[in-house]
Structure 1
Amino acid sequence: MADKKTGIDQALIRDLANILNDTDLTEIEVEQDDVRIRVSRMGTPQPIQAYAPQYMQPAAAAAQPVAAAAAEAAPVINGFILTSPMVGTCYYSPAPGSPAFVEVGQTVKEGQTVLIIEAMKTMNQIPAPRSGKVTAIMVNDSSPVEFGEPLLVIE
Structure 2
Amino acid sequence: MAESSGGSKKLLWIMIILVLLSSAGAAAAIYMVLDDRDDAPEDAEEQVAEPQPPVFLTIEPFTVNLADDQYGSRLLYAGITLRVEDEATRELLEEHMPQVRSRLLTVLSGQKAGDLTSSEGKQQLARTINERLSQPFDENQPPLELREVLFTEFIVQ
* TM-score (norm. length: structure 2): 0.27
Question: Greater helix share, 1 or 2?
Answer: 2
Q: Greater relative contact order: 1 or 2 (C-alpha under 8 angstroms, separation 6 or more)?
A: 2
Whose Rg is larger?
A: 2
Question: Greater strand share, 1 or 2?
Answer: 1
* TM-score (norm. length: structure 1): 0.27
